[in-house]
Amino acid sequence: MNRLSLLTAVALLLALPGCKFVETAELAARAEASAKPAAGSDVAGRWDAEIVPYIVEKAKPLAEIRAALGGGLDATGKTFGYREVPEGAPWNFPVAITGTIVEANTKSRAATADVDTDGDGKADVTLQLGPVIKGTSIRDVLPFVSFTSYSNQIEYADVAKAFNTQAFERVLKDLPRDALIGSRVEATGVFTLRTAADKVLVTPVLVKLGAGA
């Protein structure tokens, strides 16, 4: 091909819609990104062996955590909870609850069940039932799941979604939603507090239902 023909070919390529030259470094970065496992793809394999055992081991009764909150949220968090950022971030608490379901909202995709844990007939904690599960409590309670292990905020968010998906698929999906009210429930999970007065919204990792009292 002579010089004129080569220049003509290059001009034609540049004229094509969307056609552009890509630097070698950019191509390498794209190849590395496509070969890297998706963020959160390992969660299913870690769920039973690592995630649930850790939360179960660390979980404390809700009444114990609530009693400690009288001494301040930060003091309670340092004793019973975890947060990756030392200052300013909310505290995440592994918790064990036992009580009676007194109300259930199962029509919403962000379904919930309200539980009376102290026997006064009034709800004092809410369990998330999904399939839409709010928040990032499971991810954020785990000291071995760090933001610094991921490339960006999007990947970190994907990991939280993967944890919530596992909670629904393994724990919540098959609960008998038409027979929740009045049932006794034992659950282990996680909740997040920004202030001591926040509503306790638990994302369960284990749930056991029994007959009502």
* CATH number given to 38-210: 2.40.50.420
In the chain, where are the structural domains located? 38-210
Q: Which residues contact 198 (CB under 8 A, 6 or more apart)?
A: 192
The reported pLDDT for the residue numbered 91 is 97
- The pairing of strands 60-61 and 201-210 is unpaired
Q: Which residues contact 34 (CB under 8 A, 6 or more apart)?
A: none
Q: Which residues of the chain have pLDDT under 50?
A: 6, 10, 13-14, 19, 33, 35
Sign of CA dihedral 39, 206, 108, 62: negative
Distance CA 199, CA 201 (A): 6
Q: Which residues pair with 92 in a beta bridge?
A: 82, 192
| Residue 103 and residue 123 in contact, taking contact as beta carbons nearer than 8 Å | yes
Parallel, antiparallel or unpaired: strands 110-116 and 125-131: antiparallel
